[in-house]
Amino acid sequence: MRVSNLFTKSNKEVSAEETAKNARLLIQAGFISKEMAGVYAYLPLGKRVLDNITKIVKEEMNLIGGQEVQLTALQPKEMWDATGRWNDDVIDVWFKTKLNAGGEIGLGVTHEEPMTNLVKKYVNSYQDLPLFTYQVQTKFRNELRSKSGLMRGREFLMKDMYSFARSEEEHQKLFAEVKVAYEKIFKRIGLSDRTFFTTADGGAFSSGFSYEFQTLIDNGEDTIYLDRDKNVAVNEEILSDEVLTSLGLNKADLEVHKASEVGNIFNLGTKYSKPFSLNYLDEDNQQQTVIMGSYGLGISRVMGVIAEVMGDEKGLVWPEEVAPARFYLASLGIDTEVTEKADELYQKLVDEGIEVLYDDRDARAGEKFADADLSGIPYRVVISNKTIAEGKVEVKPRQSDQVEMVSIDKLIEKFGVKL
């Protein structure tokens, strides 16, 4: 894409009302636009990042056999009366409204009820199990406060997977498969070295403990106690000598950190399958209740977390697989030869299937370099009279000050291929 064609621009000023670092950087770089507190629109470059994260998450869910569906935002009251969760004392972030035709409805805060109800339509026998279903869907939560940018929105994109097993043992196997898939996702999106599997409170959703993937972040909403050697953590909310002993952890070995939850795993047991009578006939023709698990991953939240933890004083920093483009190509000066060579390289990279943001504007080098850094695209590539004289291009990784002169073949061979 050519910068001259992009309708968005980087913004010099961001409203002081916006206090979250992630939202400030994303607005400044022209990736998102604030519609109201906790509600953001995605602009072309931001939409690409969101799509890239979504693609990674879907690929890993599909690899373990996840079947993609799309449930609905509009939820009838009756569906939630079955579990008592329509009650505002149980879920206090409902947006509720009414049908003109009569009847109360709410906007999907979460989807355990409709997913259980859906799967019940199709599961009868042990031969229909186990299975995973998932969706990537907008969730709506009527949060009283929303000041963390994409990290806690009132309207946000989430992947929620659900597992349906015949026994506790089978459930544990499915749980372990999702855990591995989540580890692969966090590696691919570039957060693995600061994201830890954390034991937490099961809460209202779950029976017993729940599990979280927590990313270390200075202004995170959670506090975790991390055992670096064992590569696991405990959420402060359940910290006690008894819990530590049960997890085989020693308080003296733990570091305390602020963190933000990027994924979660709930052992739902029969909490939802019982009220919806989601049963199956076993091999002896006996009725049994399905054992469920749920596995959340906040896609827009992850985008916010990456911006928050990786962004530096120059702007955003995107890991390779989530970046809106691989190269930020800047032509310097408006000499015909520079423009021709830059156009040619742009076309060559596009033909090779490499995503490029091509800054073809008639603008000063300083402005182009500042926008290149602000955009967080992994490699800046410069074409100027100087590079043309050497028959090369200049390349600089986003997080380095070292420039390197390389031939176009070497640029593609060394920097054009994702690891």
x-marked contacts with a copy of itself along 251-280 as a string, rule CB under 8 A = ------------------------------
Q: Report the DSSP pairing between strands 232-235 and 195-201.
A: parallel
Q: How far is CA 69 from CA 111, 118, 164, 242, in A?
A: 12, 10, 15, 41
The single residue among 16, 122, 366, 419 that binds a copy of itself, judged by CB under 8 A, is 122
315 DSSP 8-state letter:
B
| Contact call for residue 403 and a copy of itself (CB under 8 A) | no
Which residue, 39 or 403, is less far from a copy of itself as judged by CB? 39
Cβ atoms within 10 A of the Cβ of 396, count?
Answer: 18
Rule CB under 8 A: is residue 142 a binding residue for a copy of itself?
yes
358 binds a copy of itself (CB under 8 A): no
**What tokens appear for 323 in the block?**
């970046």
Q: Which is nearer to a copy of itself, 103 or 397 (CB)?
A: 103
The residue range among 98-106, 174-182, 201-209, 226-234 that interacts with a copy of itself, by the rule CB under 8 A, is 98-106
Among 22, 75, 83, 110, binds a copy of itself (CB under 8 A): 75
Establish whether the linkage from the previous residue to 130 is cis, with ω within 30° of 0. yes
Give the residue ranges of DSSP H helices in 98-223. 112-120, 168-188
Single-letter residue type at 232: V
Q: Show the tokens assigned to 376.
A: 């967080």
12 touching a copy of itself, by CB under 8 A: no
Give me the residues paired with residue 139 across strands. 156
* φ and ψ at residue 141, rounded to 5 degrees: -135, 125
Nearer to a copy of itself, 105 or 243 (CB): 105
Interacting positions 298-327 with a copy of itself (CB under 8 A): none
User: In the window 55-74, what residues touch a copy of itself (CB under 8 A)?
Assistant: 65, 67-74
Asked if 195 and 187 count as a contact pair (C-beta separation under 8 A), the reply is: no
Interface residues with a copy of itself (CB under 8 A) are 5-9, 30, 33, 35-37, 39-44, 47, 50, 65, 67-76, 79, 92-93, 95-97, 99-101, 103, 105, 107, 114, 118-119, 121-123, 128, 131, 133, 138, 140, 142-146, 154-155
